[in-house]
């Protein structure tokens, strides 16, 4: 690869009064990435339709969120949040389709997926872009099997719920860090050592969706068991192992809630910077040489 493809449109951004910066952090992430000198290319994409959202969600729930009669994942009824989700999911799908088509890697700088269940949203997640993407690709006969490598520190309970509700386990391999038995600092080395084996269990998949969350960082107020170096090693393991196995990979930002003394999200941006660095080190030809 000569350039890392990033799928972004301003419509993915929502400035919501929330503890989580995830709905609004994409522009800051892209600005921070631009300072790294890593060759990237920004690509536009089409938003998904409400019918696409209904592949993974109860149609009544989708319609209710869009008409403002039911709470979204941010626990409000703002219909603009619903509309922005058509773009966040669209970015995830576009990155996945690109990675699948090229056999390489692609990036969707979006968050807010894995807590959204079949008929409800919470935890800053309204619609599950991971499962919607999987079901869109399956419906279009672009994949037979798919892996979800969810390395957000919290349980991907919405993803697990949809997989169970729609009987998808026969073709989706789902790993959620949040369900790991030991995610404390003393178990960090062992967890990271197990990651290649986790990914190898996805080697018969056509595509892997990777949630490269910043919230497993030890200083995150809602997470915390990996140091900065260990979190970067997590990313290096994922990218290197997927490339070695020939697994196309699409990744997103997911969570991250740290703030510095000035209440900026600079600590989160630094961790997302490290993920991009790890990605570039594995996939960019000019950096490999």
pLDDT digits (tens, 9 = 90+) for 275-289: 999 999 999 975 554
> How many domains would you assign to the chain?
1
For the chain, the maximum distance between any two Cα atoms, rounded to a whole number of angstroms, is 55
Over 60: is that where the pLDDT of 5 sits? yes
Instruction: Read off the CATH number of the domain in which 101 is found.
Output: 3.40.800.20
Domain that holds residue 85: 4-288
pLDDT of residue 65: 97
Adjacency order of strands within the sheet including 40-43: 40-43, 4-7, 105-108, 249-252, 207-211, 146-150, 172-176
Question: What percentage of the chain carries pLDDT values higher than 70?
Answer: 98
Tokens 């997927």: give the residue: 242
Over 90: is that where the pLDDT of 40 sits? yes
Helix, strand, or coil (residue 242): helix
pLDDT of residue 288: 52
- Pick from 7-11, 38-42, 117-121, 283-287: least confident: 283-287
For range 105-111, the mean pLDDT? 98
């Amino acid at each position: 690869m000569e350039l890392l493809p990033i799928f972004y449109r301003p419509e993915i951004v929502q400035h919501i009064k929330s503890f989580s910066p995830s709905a609004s952090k994409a522009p800051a992430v892209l600005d921070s990435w631009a300072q790294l000198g890593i060759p990237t290319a920004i690509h536009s994409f089409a938003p998904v339709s409400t019918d696409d959202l209904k592949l993974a969600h109860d149609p009544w729930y989708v319609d209710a969120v869009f008409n403002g009669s039911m709470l979204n994942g941010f626990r409000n009824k703002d219909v603009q949040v619903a509309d922005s989700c058509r773009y966040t999911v669209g970015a995830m799908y576009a990155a996945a389709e690109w990675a699948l088509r090229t056999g390489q890697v692609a990036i969707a700088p979006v968050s807010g997926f894995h807590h959204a269940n079949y008929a409800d949203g919470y935890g800053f997640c309204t619609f599950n872009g991971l499962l919607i993407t999987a079901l869109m690709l399956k419906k279009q006969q672009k994949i037979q099997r798919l892996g979800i490598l969810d390395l957000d520190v919290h349980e991907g309970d919405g993803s697990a719920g949809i997989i169970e509700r729609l009987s998808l386990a026969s073709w989706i391999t789902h790993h959620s860090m949040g369900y790991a038995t030991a995610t404390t600092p003393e178990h960090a080395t062992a967890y990271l050592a197990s990651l290649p084996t986790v990914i190898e269990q996805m080697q018969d998949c056509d595509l892997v969706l990777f949630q490269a969350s910043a919230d497993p960082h030890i200083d995150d107020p809602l997470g915390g068991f990996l140091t900065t170096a260990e979190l970067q090693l997590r990313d290096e393991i994922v990218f290197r192992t997927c490339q070695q196995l020939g697994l196309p990979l699409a990744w997103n930002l997911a969570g991250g809630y740290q703030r510095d003394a000035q209440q900026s999200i600079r600590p989160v941006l630094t961790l997302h910077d490290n993920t991009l660095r790890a990605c570039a080190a594995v996939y960019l030809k000019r950096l490999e040489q």
